[in-house]
A and B are shown apart, each in its own frame.
With several copies, the nearest count.
Chain A
Amino acid sequence: MTTIAAAPVPVATRPRLMKGNEAMADAAIEAGCDAYFGYPITPQAELLERMARRMPELGRVFVQAESEIGAINMALGAAATGAKVLVSTSSPGMSLMAEAMSYMAGSELPIVLINVMRGGPGLGSIGPSQSDYFQATKGHGHGDYRVPVLAPSSIAEAVALVADSFEIAARYRTPVILLADGIQGQAMEPVVPTFRTPAWDTADWELTGASGRAPRVVRSLHLLPEDLEHHNQHLQAKYATISRREVRWAGEQLDDAEIVVVAYGTAARVARTAIERARADGLRVGLFRPITLWPFPSKALAELAPRLRAILVVELSAGQMIEDVRLAVERVPVFFHGRTGGMVPIPSEVVDRLRVAWALTAPTP
């Protein structure tokens, strides 16, 4: 299916107070999502429920699958026909999708997968978390593949990133993960509903039935290692392109910052409040907020680093993104503050850490 990208058009004039899960569902619908497949899980269920209501009304596809494995494999089949497919889940369900994600990466199928993260490991809790960072950015499924990962820090941004995710997915024929957390799924914030058609062109490879052309096969099997290596080289080249072109991040108060908090999603929101308070106390601190977690904005951070006394990484995890931060920078001390299991750092904790880092890295007079 082919659609030409169009500039965003607001479909309402006034902002609406929307739950993150529902706002993301609506965003997908506005982006022309053809098919949604999902399975209920907290704290993502409202997204599925919204799709259950709206997709059939629009004559589009909604299937509540028998499981997350069912959902992601339905998505695989639908994506193979060139459809614009959305799937959503939360952490344990994400784990179940590892095999099919690897298949889709190998088969080069575009699809957008939203993970509204909750506390782990195991059944864990249903509280908000960012402890699936490793999973999303590396190592989820088997084999050498990467998946672009986008992380919004507000519901309005989540809405925008849904359309962007579709666009990236189609442009590079790749699954894309939108990584949110329980707070982003459950909270309500004002959103201006916007109609935004992402570019989408699958005509060259989608399965339609082999009418008037040679048969097509969507596959990940390349039994001869030579063939698979060749395919992998193609994938790696694609990933290199994505790494060059699709990096996104946002900075706040970086101009004079001597310490920078690196945080994404909800952690970045907490950091923003903490930074304001710390600035009120005279600490020159700023925020570096990766929006793409893979590709990680390593270069931008590396360029910033020489000017910094220290970096403070804040995560709703025991420390995962910190590895990418450390890979990006050299010679700058990297501090960490994380809460896990559904707990969220509060601004005052972050302010405390900033003070400690500030003190420890004070230039010797």
Chain B
Amino acid sequence: MTTDVARRVIYAHPSLLAERPTHYCPGCGHGIIHRLIAELLEELHLGPTTIGVASVGCSVFAYDYLGIDFVESPHGRAPAVATGVRRTRPDAFVFTYQGDGDLAAIGTAEIIHAAARGERLSVVFVNNGIYGMTGGQMAPTTLLGQRTTSSPEGRDSGLAGFPIPITEMLALLPGVTYAARGSIADPSQVGKTKTMLKRSFEDQLGGGGFSIVEILSTCPVGWGMTPQQAMEHVANDVVGTYPLGVIVDRRKVP
């Protein structure tokens, strides 16, 4: 016989994550990343002071799942929207949640200039190498040779150029205090990514500058893979183009 006292919770549903089904496809990485954010906001007690900035992509509905204030941005403009929020709410914790199409294509100017200004923001950059929401078209981050609905023969650098290492580019800017790349390919990577996010969030709380965590995620539907195949693809292939690790760390002693 066991008593209630003994029933210690090792992993509980994060209180800031809604207890209802998401619209994400089975195995989609967004779910994992939402969960990490919810866990961290809870751990850092940020629920009541956070203003999230949603972008346009499958994750636009983040506001339906995370129990915090949220503002929605036009496609790609989340860093500009977040700048407006940041400047008028200096005490809030502000983060953007952006896909790779959103951040690295249409939103290139906005992310680069938010970083150049050193806006005190945390950017959660979910790179699944594809436009998930619109049906799996090529993104600027799509791997060479990868087939998508708009690169049916595989991405050809002669026609469509090369995958863009946007986080490395951002890291050149002095306003960026922390830039790192993690993945969600397995539980241990999920844990490391969480640490990166935590550093980003804490840097903002400590008065740092712009920080970004790029997360190599999956889009099983867009990739035409099972969720598990997608995870393996990240672990084996995607990291070849986008190496994991800290890209720049200019934080005041962490």
Per the bound structure, the CA–CA distance linking A218 and B112 in Å amounts to 24
Task: Among B56, B74, B87, point to the contact of A61 (Cβ < 8 A).
Answer: B87
Kindly state whether residue B227 has any CB partner on chain A within 8 Å.
Answer: no
* Most A CB within 10 A of own CB, among B73, B112, B131: B73
Distance between A265 CB and nearest chain B CB, rounded to angstroms: 23
- Looking at A62-70, A145-153, A279-287, the stretch in contact with chain B turns out to be A62-70
List of A residues within 8 angstroms of B84 by Cβ: 35, 37, 73-81, 83, 85
Please give the distance in Å from B123's CB to the nearest CB on chain A: 14
B230 in contact (CB, < 8 A): no
The 8 Å CB contact of A220, one of B72, B77, B152, is B72
Binds B, one of A5-13, A44-52, A167-175, A293-301: A44-52
Contact A67 B70 (CB under 8 A): no
**Cβ B138 vs Cβ A64 within 8 A:** yes
Stretch among A204-212, A308-316, A321-329, A347-355 lining the B interface: A204-212
Q: Are B67 and A66 in contact (CB under 8 A)?
A: no
| B101–chain A nearest beta-carbon distance, Å | 8
Q: Is B47 interfacial (CB 8 A cutoff)? A: yes
Q: Is A185 an interface residue, CB under 8 A from the partner?
A: no
Residues of A within 8 A of B69 (CB): 207-210, 215-217
B-chain residues with CB within 8 Å of residue A342 when the two chains form the complex: none
Kindly state whether residue B51 has any CB partner on chain A within 8 Å. yes
With both beta carbons as reference points, the residue of chain A lying nearest to B87 in the complex is identified as: A61
Q: Which of A99-107, A130-138, A247-255, A267-275 forms part of the interface with chain B?
A: A99-107
Q: Is the CB of A208 within 8 A of B92?
A: yes
Evaluate contact between A66 and B106: CB separation under 8 angstroms: yes
Picked from B67, B87, B135, the residue with its CB within 8 Å of the CB of A45 is B135
Q: How far is the CA of A261 from the CA of B219 in the complex (A)?
A: 46
- CB contact under 8 A between A78 and B160, given known A39-B106, A218-B71: no
Asked if B48 lies at the interface with its beta carbon under 8 angstroms from chain A, I say yes
Interface of B is mostly: mixed
A77–B137 touching, CB < 8 Å: no
Contact at A49–B71, with CB atoms within 8 Å?
A: no
**A242 located at the interface, meaning its Cβ lies under 8 Å from any Cβ of chain B in the complex:** no
Contact of A80 among B60, B80, B85, B113 (CB under 8 A): B85
Q: Are B73 and A76 in contact (CB under 8 A)?
A: yes
Chain A residues with CB under 8 A of B67: 210, 215
Interface residues on B, range: 35 or more
The answer, among B82, B106, B152, for a CB contact under 8 Å with A67, is: B106
Contact of A66 (CB < 8 Å), options: B60, B110, B150, B153: B110
Nearest B residue to A69, CB-CB: B77
Cβ distance A20 to chain B, nearest Cβ, rounded Å: 16
Interface contact A73-B71, CB-CB below 8 Å: no
B75 at the interface (CB under 8 A from A): yes
Flag if A45 contacts B49 (CB, 8 Å): no
| B76 at interface, CB cutoff 8 A | yes
B110 close to A70 (CB less than 8 A): yes
A70 nearest in chain B by CB position: B80
A62 contacts which of B49, B75, B133, B159 (Cβ < 8 Å)? B159
Given A66-B80, A81-B92, A209-B49, 14 more contacts at CB 8 Å?
Answer: A45-B134, A45-B149, A63-B117, A63-B159, A66-B106, A66-B110, A66-B113, A70-B80, A70-B83, A83-B88, A123-B56, A210-B47, A216-B69, A219-B63
